[in-house]
């Protein structure tokens, strides 16, 4: 149905091209010699130094700089470049962090001599009777810290 409304010249060329057995001439790609270089890590504008002197600092670009045919992939405003870290480097960073943290904790331990607070002692045998002990055997289970200066509990 669409072929009926197409222009006759377009229809004949497309049909001739479809039915011909001649191989099309191969175009030399790329046509411009500047585009033959492969992209390297330095081609990504996001990875360029932000402190360098650029003619266009926002895009980290100099004027009259050759533009790649894949400029849209390398420019400053594309998706972020995914960079990886080797396993060796990651383990080194992790062990450095753990070492610095452990060293800081060990160094801070010299500032604090003892416990932060003293344990609380209860009088009368550690309040064993008040906590529900009925005899001396249960007093071992129920009692809290014993105040040595207090008189012992009486279970008479």
pLDDT digits (tens, 9 = 90+) for 43-60: 788 888 889 999 988 888
118: three-class secondary structure by DSSP: coil
The rounded distance, in Å, linking the Cα atoms of 141 and 123 is 16
SS (H, E, C) 16-53: HHHHCCCCCCCCCCCCCHHHHCCCCHHHCHHHCCCCCC
Judged against a pLDDT cut of 90, whether residue 29 lies above it is answered with: no
Q: Percentage of the chain surpassing pLDDT 90?
A: 17
The first and second tokens of residue 3, run together, are: 């072929």
Return the half-sphere exposure (C-beta side, CA atoms, 13 A cut-off) of residue 84: 3
More confident residue, 21 or 136: 136
Q: What is the pLDDT of residue 60?
A: 87
Mean pLDDT of the 115-136 span: 75
Mean pLDDT of the 136-156 span: 68
SS (H, E, C) 58-88: CCCECCCCCCCCCHHHHCCCCCCCCCCCCHH
Residue written as tokens 């191969």?
26
The rounded distance, in Å, linking the Cα atoms of 146 and 125 is 6
Q: What is the pLDDT of residues 75-97, one digit of tens each?
A: 888 888 788 889 999 999 999 99
Judged against a pLDDT cut of 80, whether residue 26 lies above it is answered with: no
Cβ–Cβ < 8 Å for 95, 103: no
Q: Percentage of the chain surpassing pLDDT 70?
A: 60
The rounded radius of gyration (Å) of the Cα atoms in the chain is 41
């Amino acid at each position: 149905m669409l072929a009926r409304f197409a222009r006759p010249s377009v229809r004949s060329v497309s049909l001739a091209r479809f039915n011909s057995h001649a191989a099309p001439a191969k175009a030399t790609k790329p046509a411009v010699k500047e585009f033959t270089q492969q992209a390297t890590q330095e081609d990504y504008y996001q990875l360029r130094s932000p402190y360098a002197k650029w003619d266009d600092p926002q895009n980290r670009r100099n004027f009259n700089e050759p533009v790649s045919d894949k400029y849209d992939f390398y420019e400053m405003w594309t998706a972020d470049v995914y960079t990886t870290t080797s396993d060796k480097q990651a383990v080194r960073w992790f062990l450095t962090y753990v070492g610095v943290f452990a060293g800081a904790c060990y160094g801070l331990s010299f500032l604090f001599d003892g416990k932060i607070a003293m344990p609380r002692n209860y009088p009368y045998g550690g309040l064993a009777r008040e906590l529900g002990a009925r005899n001396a055997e249960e007093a071992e289970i129920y009692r809290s810290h014993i105040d040595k200066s207090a008189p012992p509990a009486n279970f008479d």
